[in-house]
Amino acid sequence: MKIALVLTDSSTECRKSLEMLKSFADSFSADIEVFVVLEDLYRLESASVSLGVPLPPDTIKNAKERAKNRVKTLWRHVVNDESAQIEIKTIAGELAQEALKFVDEEKPDLLLWGCQPTATLCRVIDEVKVPSLIIK
């Protein structure tokens, strides 16, 4: 079984979602991974392009690394092991588009959504053909 946790910009510090991911992984002996969609960064990048004011060169790369580091740090606290590793993918893009692409490529059996439920999120969950659970 493969379980993926989807996080958004505002949920990369959601310890509860990582605790639930660990619980599911332990209960089902599942392979796990975390997918972080940096939608705010994508919007900032799009706005900067349309305004003709480019972002500094390493802005996106640095934001992805910061998100990964936050998740890694929280994961290590959750599992109580400073050397614990977890697969984390980050992307700057629209949640709906990137989540569908992720599901098509990675083919998880279950998606955990560590974010606030919104109308957009509900539409995305309706589109993905994978059982989903929102953790808030």
With 0.85 as the threshold, say if the pTM is over it: yes
How does pLDDT run across 49-105, given as a tens digit for each residue?
667 777 777 888 999 999 999 999 999 999 999 999 999 999 989 999 999 999 999
Q: How confident is the model at residue 12 (pLDDT cuts 50, 70, 90)?
A: low
CA proximity to 113, closest of 9, 31, 8: 8
CA 97, 134, 111, 16 torsion-angle sign: positive
- Whether the per-residue pLDDT at 110 is higher than 80: the answer is yes
Domains and CATH numbers, the chain: 2-134 (3.40.50.620)
User: Tens digit of pLDDT for each residue in 37-64?
Assistant: 998 877 777 777 667 777 777 888 999 9
| Residue 15: predicted pLDDT | 86
In single-letter form, the type of residue at position 114 comes to G
